[in-house]
Amino acid sequence: MAIIDEDDYLVAVNKPFNLLSVPGRGEHKQDCVVSRLQQRYADIRVVHRLDCHTSGLMLLARGLEAQRRLSRLFHDRRVDKRYIAVVEGEVHTEQGVIDIPLRGDPENRPVQVVDCIHGKPAQTRWRLQKKEGGSGSPMSRLILQPLTGRTHQLRVHCMAMGHPIVGDRLYNSAGHRAGRMMLHADRLEFVHPFSNRPLRLLAECEF
């Protein structure tokens, strides 16, 4: 797991695909980003999470005060997050905003569902980067910028627009059988909460 940036207040890593962000239930789910970093940083604390099957940039805090300040940046939407996704089908328009409310499905956790009445607001800005695949199996590469931070937001929003993410076994079980889910967090931008210097963290897409 590569460290992208670090100082006395934060650590940014490039989380591999198929690694938990935090420990799960059971002895077999203890290997995760946090447990690995705890071996090097005794004061490491969680700020946000990535799905197990999403790779890319994950930011962690060093100490309670750093966790509080960094978490506030995410809460106040002062962190610019960007993801790369390869989705099923040919996307014909260049860009747009998905504004579809989401909620958890209590009968099928951790699945999220579209619910325009009881769901929480969720918005994702997207842009077509390029078209991929042949005529028999068209795919499109998108740049995704979540404006809110709902669970599985990008995965459900892509599905809702008719272009589920390739390799997403939860929301795209009938799609392309890729070796992994094609979703990667490649950029984080924010102002450092202690030094006030602008930070632009990058992790090159792995697919």
Catalytic residue among 5, 7, 8, 51: 51
Classified as helix, coil or strand, 124 is strand
10: CB partners within 8 A, 6+ apart? 47, 59, 60, 61, 62, 66, 70, 192
CA distance 69 to 48: 12
Output Rg (C-alpha) for the chain, integer angstroms. Answer: 17
Integer CA distances (angstroms), 9 to 21, 73, 160, in order: 19, 14, 38
Cβ contact 3:11 at 8 Å: yes
Catalytic (active site) residue 186: no
CA distance 7 to 181: 31
Catalytic residues: 51
